[in-house]
Amino acid sequence: MKISVIGCGYLGAVHAACMAKLGHEVVGIDTDAAKIEALADGRPPFFEPGLPELLSEGVASGRLRFSADIAEAAGARVHFLCVGTPQKHGEFAADLRYVDAAFTDLRQHVNAGDLVVGKSTVPVGTAERLAAAYEGTDATLVWNPEFLREGFAVKDTLHPDRLVYGVPEGAAGEQAAELLDEVYARPMSEGTPRIITDYATAQLVKVAANSFLATKISFINAMAELCEATGADVTALADAIGHDDRIGRRFLNAGLGFGGGCLPKDIRAFMARAGELGVDQALSFLREVDAINMRRRVRMVDLAREVCGGSIVGRKVAVLGAAFKPNSDDVRDSPALNVAEQMNLQGAYVTVTDPEAVENARRRFPDLKYTESFEDAVEDAELILLLTEWKEYVELDPTALSDKVAQRRILDGRNVLDPARWRAAGWTYRALGRP
């Protein structure tokens, strides 16, 4: 199948490479010429395991190419729209300018019978509006939300746990679903469930899923606050309630909370849209979810102050982790950088290190001090903060680290270390929600 993918960010670049892997002939399109050049060269402009190999393979096979010219989308049978929907500056609502521009630009290049497939996360009602704008083209709009996780994006795209098609009513919708089934023939042959809905449901599925995940994390972090007030251990609590199949252990890791380019902005945009629809009360709990999440960051700084004897002014602090989660170089709304920045502003000498995200972090928070070297970061530190659970940090040896630091104090912002092991090696170990 001939496919175009408009927007080659995290979502689109991975989608384009994976569609080529599935055997389709793909052109990836983006307005950023530098990005296009890098992708065509097999160098994704962000860190994503497995993607460089997939890009090189696709380009070498001749099935994958990239272009900065949207006219190259003409001739494709299926067009995937994968542009970003960031939070509007100073508002909760999503900024739809990239979605609107992409749909407007693409309109001139679609042919009768084409499928235009929206994958971006949008406020419910957007697909209906865009479908109306495409009337007269004889192309059909489908809403097919994407659920990929950064760090597992290739696997999540090649082997999704479900496919959702939001289609128009009647024969056009049925034909659209058949065509999309051809595109996804391989994952469908693996038994991936496919759910066909109307536009509104498909758009809501995505934000409902992300709201649920955010709520699950904030729930356990609220329990962490209770644990802190009572001397209980939130990790044992999560293990115990997680054994109940109805609850499940996944996404119950208490700590510094969620960040990244999706969960925070998606729950806010969802609240904004609910307000427009006159049902803001239905989502008022998401305000609390957001507030619990943001409170963890402040609590982390308070904890740092506590273990430093009441003040962090002038203290040499090593922050391990800048990415919003491991296996990513994405620093958008990174809890780790938020904590580092607060401590820096409050007078600590902070050095941030990360296996992949230093460059991106430096661009976003140029005032912080960075090093690519773990050794340099921890040298003579009076306090270590583990804020992103990269494997190499989880596996740190407290005895070996003892000689390098000035003071053996560690805050485990992700509840991934063994407190007994660290304490036995003479460290002051503290964590969120643990005694």
Catalytic residue among 8, 18, 227, 262: 262
Beta carbon nearer to ligand UDX, 330 or 382:
330
Chain residues 194-223 in contact with ligand UDX, contact rule CB under 6 A: 210, 213, 217
Beta carbon nearer to ligand UDX, 263 or 308:
263
Q: Cα separation of 114 and 117, whole Å?
A: 10
Chain residues 314-333 in contact with ligand UDX, contact rule CB under 6 A: 324-325
Choosing from 173, 260, 321, 355, the residue that interacts with ligand UDX (CB under 6 A) is 260
How is residue 47 written in tokens? 């860190």
CB of 229 to ligand UDX, least distance (A): 20
Chain length of the chain = 435
Beta carbon nearer to ligand UDX, 81 or 401:
81
Tell me if 92 sits within 8 A of 274, measured CB to CB.
Answer: no
| Residue 255 touching ligand UDX (CB under 6 A) | yes
Q: Cα separation of 169 and 199, whole Å?
A: 10
Which segments of 278-332 are extended strands (E)? 316-320
Beta carbon nearer to ligand UDX, 324 or 427:
324
How many binding residues for ligand UDX (CB under 6 A)?
19
| Residue 252 touching ligand UDX (CB under 6 A) | yes
| Residue 259 touching ligand UDX (CB under 6 A) | yes
Chain residues 337-396 in contact with ligand UDX, contact rule CB under 6 A: none
Nearest residue to 214 via CA among 155, 289, 278? 289
Neighbour tally for 30: CB within 10 Å: 25
Binding span for ligand UDX by CB under 6 A among 107-115, 181-189, 248-256, 356-364: 248-256
Beta carbon nearer to ligand UDX, 139 or 214:
214
82 is catalytic: no
Chain residues 111-150 in contact with ligand UDX, contact rule CB under 6 A: 147-150
DSSP letter string over 325-386?
Answer: SSS----TT-HHHHHHHHHHHTT-EEEEE-SS-HHHHHHH-TTSEEES-HHHHHTT-SEEEE
Tell me if 363 sits within 8 A of 388, measured CB to CB.
Answer: no
Choosing from 173, 257, 355, 398, the residue that interacts with ligand UDX (CB under 6 A) is 257
* Integer angstrom CA distances of residue 68 from 37, 65, 209: 9, 11, 33
* Residues with catalytic function: 262
Contact residues for ligand UDX, defined by CB under 6 A: 147-150, 210, 213, 217, 251-253, 255, 257-260, 262-263, 324-325
